[in-house]
Amino acid sequence: MLIKSPKELVPLSKSACLAADITVFKDSLNNVVGIVCGKRSAKFPIARKLKIGDSIDPSEVRNDFYVTLKSGSFQQDGKRSQRNVQIRLRVVNSAGITIENSIIPGMTSGTVSRCSEYLSSVFYHENNPVWDEIVKIDISSELMDDIHLLFTVWHVSSKPKNDELFSFGFLPVSVKSIVVANGEHVLELWKPFSRDITHDLRKAFYVCNTISLSRRKEEVRILTQLSSTTKPQNEALVLLLKWRSVPKEVIPQILEKIEKVQGTELIQFMREVLDALFCLLAEDHRRLEEQIFASILNVLDQLTSKFSKYRSAVEAYLSHSFRFCKIHSILLRISLNYVDYVNIHSQSPDTKKLKSLMTLCKCLKYVVQLMLTSWRLEVRQSKYEGKIATSHEEFRTRLFTVRNLSSLLLSSSSSDKSVVF
């Protein structure tokens, strides 16, 4: 809406006002929605938090990409007065096709007010507008590798046929399967290659080749925020989750990088990360099994000790999501190697192994639970297939040795004063 004479606007009388009723509910979201919808027939759109919270349900699936249109700086291009600037946003794939109904104004969920092109508000005669308008890009995580955000900049008139496209910019959502980092982005703007590029995208050539474009001395500032349980923004996590397609010689480097990932990132993809590490361990990776085991310990330590608020999510995974019936024998073998190491550590200290040993002691409860769950799954599967599982006595004896690791470590360290843990 263009308001040419704001002084002519007349305020409404006090009796004609907009009233808002705010009620605070102390209950789960599902129960609150049931209470509210039970009172009224209308369905209410839910505005979720921009960032994923501390308490995460392992079964929760979320892939929300928020874009905030902050501000812009534009040239006057010889016009007598400043421009009436409007930003129009589309989601476009590499073939130059607009993804229909992929934009939701604001932060709501569901099918409320979906559109294929978002139109910003317009400030009359203002070359440096500040919008602070937020939209949600609602597409599957699989499509995110093939799309970009297309921003077209228009000078709008009170007569739509006189609207003029004078700049455009874009932002690839993903680069090599890694979603663009959260935070502010300053977009370069370019001279349009046709009068209305939204109808002449030419297979989006501009994303990979800007040589043929003319740069304009203008910019648009935006903020992006990905809240996803399916699409990591960390390169190490992306590579780990796609480990089957990664060269084997690169896996040790990935495992090293995983140890540097913070718990706040790990918790969003806890199930996928642990599943990938257990798959790696179950495969024929005998040469890497200690490094893989160290990575598993690091993840457990991060989520149960350093970020203890995530402990319940880990316990939920161990109880309901862990499904590796053959892994207990590998975990037992590696853990028993640590027991042997404790007995001779004064003769051959190893910094890395000592670090993993201390982490194992901190996470021993969860490692033992993994072994027990895996063994029970094997027994159940063996009965179903008519095979013979690992004997109960043999497993019990070896597990008991591992469970005494902490006591063994304490007695060993007290008898050998030269070793400091």
pLDDT category, 370, cuts 50, 70, 90?
very high
Q: How do strand 85-93 and strand 117-119 relate by DSSP bridges?
A: antiparallel
Tokens of 82: 């400043």
In the predicted structure, residue 59 carries a pLDDT above the cut 70: no
Helices (H), 19-125: 29-39
Per-residue pLDDT at 389? 60
CATH code that applies to domain 6-11+48-228: 2.60.40.150
Residue boundaries of the structural domains of the chain: 6-11+48-228, 235-415
Task: Kindly indicate the confidence band of residue 185, based on its pLDDT and cuts at 50, 70 and 90.
Answer: very high
Higher pLDDT, 152 or 6: 152
106 versus 47: which is more confidently predicted?
A: 106
pLDDT value at position 301? 93
Q: Can you point out the beta strands (E) in 39-163?
A: 63-73, 85-93, 103-105, 117-119, 130-137, 147-155
> 287-334, pLDDT tens digit by residue?
889 899 999 999 999 999 888 888 888 898 998 889 898 888 899 888
Helical packing angle, 364-385 and 289-301, nearest 10°: 120
Separation of alpha carbons 51 and 64, rounded Å: 9
How sure is the predictor about 3, in pLDDT bands with cuts at 50, 70 and 90?
low
Residue 413 banded pLDDT, cuts 50, 70, 90:
very low
What rounded mean pLDDT belongs to the chain?
83
Structure tokens at 420: 């400091």
Residue-level pLDDT at 48: 74
Q: What's the whole-model pTM score?
A: 0.77
| Residue 132 φ/ψ region, left for φ over 0, alpha for ψ in the -120 to 50 degree band, beta for the rest | left
pLDDT of residue 63: 86
Higher pLDDT, 358 or 392: 358
